[in-house]
Amino acid sequence: MASKLLSNEFQKHICLDYECTTIEEAIHKAGDLLVQVGCVKPPYINGMIRREQETSTDIGLGVMIPHGTEDTLNFVLKPEISIVQIPHGVSYHGNTIHLVIGISSREEDPLQELMQITDILLKPEKCHQFLNASSKQKFIDMINQNYVEEGEL
């Protein structure tokens, strides 16, 4: 198996069926996952929330990609992502967010997983499946399958 493919260990980066009432709760959960897997130090989460207050990271399709502010980059330990699925959605600026993809990265850090997810979201036939994945393994399988289909291994 190629090193780019996600392992089952990536399941620790995913939270399914998260219930929240505010976008701040969802961002905090995405940040907590990044802390738990050793990608960032806890103060990074405040930067993620502050970034969202300054500029929306809503990319459409019910997805947002919060990340820290420039002054919190020193709290990044390694580049990675987390995924928080919100089946019932949370209202945000007139949109409903169903997926929060937290990012721990400095500007120069490549995030191959994020590139694969973006590619999946841009394919209408796969976007709905990805947003409504019924298991953590389904997220992993879809990302890995996209690597294979795009010939990026």
| Residues noted as catalytic | 67
Sign of CA dihedral 28, 34, 36, 39: negative
Q: How far apart are CA 99 and CA 120, in angstroms?
A: 13
Residue 134 makes CB contacts below 8 A (sequence gap 6+) with none
Q: What is the DSSP letter of 78?
A: S
Nearest to 100 by CA among 22, 9, 5, 8: 22
Check: CB of residue 6 under 8 Å from CB of residue 145.
no
Dihedral over alpha carbons 24, 30, 34, 37 (to 10 degrees): 130
Check: CB of residue 66 under 8 Å from CB of residue 48.
yes
